[in-house]
Amino acid sequence: MSRTKTLTPEDQQLADEFERLLNESYGYEFTVGDVIEGEIVNIEKNALYVDVGAKSEAFVPYKEISNVPFNDPNELVSLGDKKEFYILNDENEDGQLTLSLKRVALARSWDKLDDMKNNDKTITARVSTVVKGGVVVDVLGLRGFVPASQLRAGGPYDHIIGQEIPMKILETDRRQAIAEQRARLLEEVIEELEVDQIVEGEVVRIADFGAFIDIKGVDGLLPISEMSWQRVRHPSDLLQVGQKITLKVLKIDKELNRISLSLKRMEEDPWVKIEGEFKEGDIVEGTINKIAQFGAFIDIFPGVEALLPVSEISDQQVDPFEELTVGNKVRVIIKRFTPKERRISLSIKSLPDAESEQSAKPVQPEENKEESPEQ
């Protein structure tokens, strides 16, 4: 049997002092938007990990490493490199900051280019590709365009790819450059994606009709109808900004450069699951999800809504809004069961007399129940 060692008052004092000094060493407050120094301590294919003096190593996502296209982060950085990083997001639950390397580089590069243009200085740029009307060059981590009319060499220009040539800056336009960069990135990502492909994404914006998900630096749309097999009243009931989720690519429109995503299709279709679970004539208990003038939609299985027509509520003519309440549980009989057609029809009035009387007093949801006073 092990024994627990009791610390002497002196040892306890030393332990408390050590803990205090340790906490003070992590006392730096990090703020989104700040630029901080850090050392690259780990390089992975899709991310960098940086020691910035916090409790946990900070994280640089792949898309925030560089503005210049690359295949491997090792092409751009090395272990032990000390650089400045822009803080993108606060610490997560693991105490990990999200940083950007490219945003610092971009800001510094634009400032330097503006200064060189204003002072009519010469800069050296590397020719990366030939495009219609000229060539694209890499300069200070940015991509620039040189019109054919400004090149000394005659076309075609394939022979100057990879060469570093001196040039003057005629114009700088940050907004246009950012727009072009986004358009290129969108095209590249769309080319890589396939319908039914599983992707990782981050929720960046929520609207009434759905949510926008960041997929490798571009936004895809997750419609509210594709969030869950069950009814979703508002996307914010299911998702929150900054949340990481796994989705399936539903549709790719290459002409409009649009990506549609699905969360619910990561799970098996409940209409397939329900086959064999029920049959016509079964008496089941369901939850009222929605009421309309023609009847009500009843949830009888997770993700499956069946229709209770107004004509099947009672032998008498009734107003469904007066007879039923959203959220209440109600007993019904399955009159028609055709899951392959995604149709299930229910009835209250066709229940046996005893069941019908019980269904006439719908069960309140658990959270709405109140304990009855003792008699």
Number of domains in the chain: 4
Query: Looking at residue 45, which CATH number applies to its domain?
Result: 2.40.50.140
66 lies in which domain range?
Answer: 11-104
Please report, rounded to a whole number, the percentage of residues in the chain having pLDDT higher than 90.
25
Asked if residue 1 is part of any domain, the answer here is no
**122-153 pLDDT, tens per residue?**
988 888 888 888 888 888 877 888 888 888 76
Confidence of residue 5 (pLDDT cuts 50, 70, 90): low
Q: What is the 3-state secondary structure (H, E, C) of the chain?
A: CCCCCCCCHHHHHHHHHHHHHHHHHCCCCCCCCCEEEEEEEEEECCEEEEECCCCCCEEEEHHHCCCCCCCCHHHCCCCCCEEEEEEEECCCCCCCCEEECHHHHHHHHHHHHHHHHHCCCEEEEEEEEEECCEEEEEECCEEEEEEHHHCCCCCCCHHHCCCEEEEECCCCCHHHHHHHHHHHHHHHHHHHCCCCCEEEEEEEEEECCEEEEEECCEEEEEEHHHCCCCCCCCHHHCCCCCCEEEEEEEEEECCCCEEEEECHHHCCCHHHHCECCECCCCEEEEEEEEEECCEEEEEEECCEEEEEEHHHCCCCCCCHHHHCCCCCEEEEEEEEEEHHHCEEEEECCCCCHHHHHHHCCCECCHHHCCCCCCC
**274-310 pLDDT, tens per residue?**
888 889 999 999 999 999 999 999 999 888 889 999 9
**84-110 pLDDT, tens per residue?**
998 887 777 667 888 988 888 888 888
Q: With 70 as the cut, is the pLDDT of residue 26 above it?
A: no
Q: With 70 as the cut, is the pLDDT of residue 19 above it?
A: no
Q: Are residues 42 and 127 in the same domain?
A: no
Q: With 60 as the cut, is the pLDDT of residue 200 above it?
A: yes
Asked if residue 255 is part of any domain, the answer here is yes
Q: With 70 as the cut, is the pLDDT of residue 17 above it?
A: no
Q: Are residues 204 and 147 in the same domain?
A: no
pLDDT, averaged across the chain:
81
In the predicted model, what is the mean pLDDT of residues 46-74? 84
